Each structure stands twice: as structure tokens, then as C-alpha cells.
Structure 1
Amino acid sequence: MFRRILASACLCATLAMQTSIAEEAVDPETLFSEAMKYRNNGELFRAIEIFETILNNQPGLNRARLELAISYHLTRRYEDAKQQLTQVLNDPETPDEVKLSITAYIAQLSGDIKTAAERNTSSFYLSLGGFSDSNINLGPGKDIQDIDPSVVENSGSGGQFMFSWSQRSRASQALHIGQSIVDFEWLTQATAYSKAYASGDSNFNLSVLTLNTGPALIAEDKWRTAFNIKLDRLYFGNDAYATYVGINPFYTYSIFKDLEITFENTTTARDYDQQVDQGLRGTMTSWSMDLAKFYAQQSIGIQAGVRYHDNGAKDGYQHYTGAEAYLGGQMPAWKNARTYLTLSSRDYRYKASDTNAGFTEKRDETEYMAILGVSHDFRSGALKSWTLNAQYSYTDNKSNLTEFAYDRSIFELSMRRYFF
């Protein structure tokens, strides 16, 4: 993009470029070609060194100065880029058509300088909707509460709400790590979530208050990494339920264009309020690796991965480990709409049998889940900027103990919006 704006400028400036000087040990044209080769290969800092060497020896070579300005721009050295462009612009030998191109480029550069100065950005997210659940007695899921084999399957419905605030703070100057231009950011998010059942089923209501914060390093189109610190406060039924404190580091690397690999860890210390739940106390961990591939200018995406999980519960009959495999994808459905599908299989291998409940065998389970959804973005009218999302999820839990085998269907409908 930057090259396109100044292409004609560099071409015209070549006409003003002095011929090689006999006493120079290295031909400046050779150095120039070498610098362009380095830059085209992504080695921006090496290219800058060579352009600066050329100009130290022959400061009148405006072609090299313009390419140096572009290189400075690409490495976020905006003021240095502007200084080089201004020097060529003020040179009386610079042709008028070149000056016109430089003026347009400086205008774009000034916009980038203004954007870089906006170090802090905030946004809000709101989601409101309803749901129906074919098996509410299972509660919010095994990761939060274990299954009670004595309960009878019962359906229910209700409403859910989520509100979050996000803050992104970026350092004023980019970092130079290896040959990468890296942005340092600090991300913070506070979220309130509530899922409430109707028809007197309040014992299954779930509310969660969450705070995430931590640093991130982003090398555009190359890699990104973050280290999140997370605090959750959970309320289940009509009581305070648990406090979670954890970390969530991850690293994503672009193997090549539109293909990424991500490594992620989640480690969470769980502390429960009620005496009856103390057996679930412990440190829950998960390790995952997944690949994401995008097609058609990233309008179509496929993701596949594997994960190992360990809930670290204190009591052996509630402590499980296992592996998970998942496959998902998303694609356009119709104008301004997208559809998505996720399939997963997750194993639960329990460490001990629940002899207090009369079981002599350890639980061995596999949970199969399918999630199908579609979202539509409203681009005009009273609902402009809102998104309507409909989602259906089906869970089939296979267990060696029939008391723990179940299936579950949940349908959700919600309206969502970001406020910037």
C-alpha cells in the first residue's frame, strides 16, 4: 500500500539520482538493490541500515531517501519517515509530480501518526436473550458442578444476559524483536453474566462476575502472544458458589498466510463456598493446540484442535482427566449473515469410584457435543449495529455407569451489540 503511493515518486526521483562515483568502494545502485531485496523479504531493519549507509555517502540520492522513508513508516518510525519525506519535498530539484505524490503520502502518514497517538480504546458489549433447556438438572456443566445421579431429567427455559467492558492500552512506540515490529498492549475486560430459569427453577440459576487483565505482544501477520490473569466470582442457585483465580497464556504463530497454529494453557485455582462442594477444590488445568485455516479472503474458516484437561478436584471420585478433539468452521450464510458449526468429543476418566453413593466402578465417560448457529448483522434501520444470533447445541454423554449417561438439547436466541 505504501509502495503504491510513492511508486511514481521513486521512479521520477531516479532521474535525479547521480551516477555512481568512481571513488566509492561499492556501487550505490548495488547497495540499493540489496536493500530493496532485504525489505521485500521482510528484513526491514537490515534494509534501513543499507539505505542509511547510501545516504551517508551520497545524501543527494532522493530515490534512496524516499525508500528509507517508506521503510521507516513500515517500522512505525513515523516522525523519521516524515522528516525524510519533507527533505525531498523541499528539494528544489524534485519534480512537481513527485512533490504531489509525496504530499499525498505525508497526509496518509499524518493519519497514522494520529492513530498511533490514540493509545487507549474502550468498548462495551451487550447480549440479551432467551433459551430452552431439555435437561436443566445437569446444571452449568461438569467443569463447574458435578452431576447428581439421583436427579430426574427436567426441562426448563429462561433468559440470559451478558455485559462487558473492554479496555485496550497500547505503548506509544512499537518494539523491535528480531526482524518483527511488535506492538505491546495491555488488555483488560470486566464481564457480568447471568442465566436465570423461569417457572420456579431458580436453584439452577448461574451468575458470574469476571475480571481479565494482562499484557499482549502482537507482531502483525507473524505471531501474537498474551498472558491473561483471570478472576471469577460464581453464584449458583441462590447462594455464593465459588471463586476462581487463574492464568491463561497463549501463543499464535502464522505458519503462512491464512494458516495459524495456537498453543494455549489455562490454569485455575478453584475455591468453593459451601461445605458440600469442598471435594471439587483444586487446580484445574488444560493444554491445547489447534490449527486455523481461512479461505476466500478470510470469509470462510476452519479450526481443528486437541486439548488435555485435568480438573484437579480434591476428592478422587470427582477428579477427572481426559483428552478432547474438536473441529469447527464458519462461512457466509446469506447477505450480512454467517453460520457456524462445532463438533467435539471429550473424555472424562475419573480417579476413583464414589463408594459413598454405592458405586464400585470408576466413571469412564465420553461427551459428544454439536453446536450449530447462525448470526445476522443488521446494517440499517432501527436495529442497525445489532446482531441476531440463534444457536442449537446437543450433548450426548456416554458413561460406563448408566446413572451418569444423558443427553441434552439447548436452544438459544439473543440480540448482541458492541458499543465503541
Structure 2
Amino acid sequence: MMRWALIGCLCCCGWCQAANWQAQPGQALQPLLDSTAAGDTLVLPAGRYPGPLTISHPLIIHAVPGATLFADGSGSALLISAADTQVSGLTIRNWGSDVFSLDAGVQLLPGADRVRLSRLTLQGPGYGIYAEKLIAPVIENCRILGEHRLYVLDRGDGIAMRYVEAPQLHHNHMQDVRDGIYLEDVSHSRVSHNLFQGLQYGLHYMYTHDDLAWQNRAEAVSGGYALMSSRAITLKDNQVSEAVDFGILLNVTRDSQLLGNRAVQVRNSRGKAEDGNLGKALFIYDAHDNVIRGNDFANSDIGISVALGAEGNHFYGNSISNNQIQVRYIGTQALEWSHEQRGNYWSSYQGWDLNGDGVGEQPYQPNDALDRLLWLYPSAQQLLESPIVQLLRWLSSALALQPNVGITDSYPLMQPAPWQEINDADH
């Protein structure tokens, strides 16, 4: 006796005589999937269905709320190799935990171009969704929960993609996974309105280019947004709070833009200034030729940390406020952090604005020569409060010692920059 029903035929999406099918809770779905034709629609009523499943030709799978694919505890729960497949509304659980074998709730195989996954709920220890060597997948309104009892580096990523072109990742929620979204050798990605909680990095770029991310939010993470060995990324209007290591990381990244982002409350309770492991709202590491404008870096251990140089970056219109250390720069270059007579707002600036143009009359240097000396030689920290060090610091400020080394803002702003100046024209 057949345990499924063919409930009608229709023509849609360019497929001739595409059919609608409806499954019955508890039945084995793979024989049913193998009986369908390209372009058919399969409806899954509420109930539990055994996995794993493989989709090898284009299908539309619509799951009613409460429909759950329950895999056998190993491997991936749902494997898709067919282009133009759509899966919506399905809950997936009990796939494998072997991240080296790429165990995932949904694994998108090469050829699964233009797949659309929407309103999925995935809970398991491996990857939530893993994709490799395909074009233009869409993942939206999905909730991906990892295993919080596992050490964070033993978990899979919420969404991981390698060698993927033009993915669209919007309105998803990732929690207790390794990285929320990990993109490697990806180009032209669009990532927006995602929420990252309780994980390593919210959004992690590696060897990517021509990407755009906007209005994402990261909370209680090790790091918010990591841009590593990448180029031409625009990060706009994103937020991160309660991170431990960094809010935004620019690591060997070039020709990118940080516009209107907010990184606040980045603190490492176990960090030490002499060890360089305090929380950093913005961490610039050997990153050049980027635009950093209209961002808010506040209430953190370190507002901005710079290592291995930051030449060629345009840094202006930002607000750096109420950080334990506003800027930590170790280097021998002179860096100007203003652009076209427009600098940044510094809560620690003690200058004045005589002509009322909103710009301080005196340039601002967030670090003096003694700061750099103490960072280069951490053992000297014990002398920090000694009278002679205080005298040298005063002399350094009064006499402008070593003016050609370090960071200078020649046009410090008297008020925080108006965030509304960062608008859609910057896309």
C-alpha cells in the first residue's frame, strides 16, 4: 500500500506537468523523493520523518510547522546536489558531530546552484549548513543552534561556505556554534540582518572579495566580525557588544570599508595591557588602504589596537569614547587619522574650539612616546606610576617630543559624528 499521495498536477517554474505530493508522518521519505520528477512539490505535514535524505533533482519541499527530519546521528541529515531546489519550514535534528567529515544539518554539494533554504530550524553539534563549489544559494530566516556543552572550537559553524559565488544570507539566527557565518574563497556575498550569539566569531571572512554585510548583530562572542586576508569588503551598520577579543578585526585586509558600525563593551576580564590581550573594539593588523568612517568604538578595554602597521588607511568621522586605552599603537610610522580636515571624536580630547567650527584647534595624539616605550618593554609597567615617569610624560606632552611618530588627529571633532551621514549611497 502506498504511504504517500499524489494530489495533483500542474505546470510551474518552467517544468512540464510538475506534480504536488504529500507525505505521511513517520514514512521513509527517500523512496518518495526518488519517485518525484524535477520541479515537483512535496508537502510534509507535522510529524517526525527519518533521515538522512538526498535530493538529486530539483524539488520544492514545503514543511508544515512541526515537521521534523530526524537523522541517524552520523553524517549529514539532508544532502542536496540539485540546482534550484527549495526547502522551507523544516526542523532538522540528530545529524553527526564530525566536523572533519563535514557532518551538517544541510550539506549543499557542488552543482546545487540557486538553492533556497528558508525558515529552517537546525539543532546539532556539526555544521548547521555547509556549502562548497556552487553559485547563488539563498539562506534566509533560519535558526541554527549548536551544542553549547562542546568546546567552541569543537563545534561546527552555523553556515560555512567554500568556493561559493554570490550567496545571499539574511535574517538568520546562529547560537552556540563555532563561527556564525564562515566564508572562505567566497566572492560577492551579501549578508544582512543576522543575529550571532554565544560563539567564536559572528561573521568570518577568509580569502574573500567584493562582499557586503549590513545590519548584523553579534552579542556575547569572542569576536564580532573578522576580515582576514580579504579585499573589497564593505561592513556597514553592523553592531557587536560584549565581545572578549575584538569587535572588528582587519587582518591583512585591503581596499575595504567600515562604515557606521558600532563595537562596544569589548572586554577581556583575564587580559593584561602588558600582554596585549585586552579586548579591542577595532583591531588593525597589517591592514592597509581601507576606509574606516563613521564608526563608534566605545566602552572597551582598548578602542583601537594597531599592530604591524596601518599605512594608507583613511580614518575619520569616528567616535572613540570611554575606552580604558583609546588607542594602542606600536610602531615607528607617523599616521594621520583625519581626511580633508575632518578628524574623529575623542572623549579624552582636552582641547578647545575657538572659532566654533566643531573642530578642535589643537591636534590630538592619543599616545605619547612613553606609551609606546612601555608597550615595547612590558616589564617597565611597574614604573608607570613613579614620579619620574609622570614627569617624563608631562614633558613629552608639553614639548611635543617625537612628533613624527605615532598617530595624530590634526582635526579632532568636538562632538560625535552624525551617524546619518553614513547612508545608502555608500553601498
Taking structure 2 as the reference length, the TM-score comes to 0.26
Which one has more relative contact order, counting CA pairs under 8 Å at least 6 apart? 1
Taking structure 1 as the reference length, the TM-score comes to 0.26
Structure with the bigger percentage of helix: 1
Structure with the bigger percentage of strand: 1
